[in-house]
Structure 1
């Protein structure tokens, strides 16, 4: 993340997998616990919940035609 310009770092942090990868990196390379960054924890679960809710709404809307959509 240090080599990216700050304007691109925002887009990288939108990805929920960033939290998981950063947690593993901190645990194995820097010997820091993953729960030290509690704001990333809340951000990850917030984004994951929004994606789950949006996916559920899309599924409910397309439920009757789900086989044709696939």
Structure 2
């Protein structure tokens, strides 16, 4: 590798500042976590779907009641 990975072109950075910069860049470049992203319940379109209407005797009464 002929060129340095990082180069400070303005100002005089201390070794501690360079180390902090390297850690910040390395942490951003690391692999993402393996936990799957889940959607929140508020984004679930299921609440927009109509439930099945009840069947049988007295179904007309319970058809207007929330489940």
Greater gyration radius: 2
Q: Could you say which structure has the greater relative contact order, defined with CA pairs below 8 angstroms and 6 or more residues apart?
A: 1
Higher helix share: 1
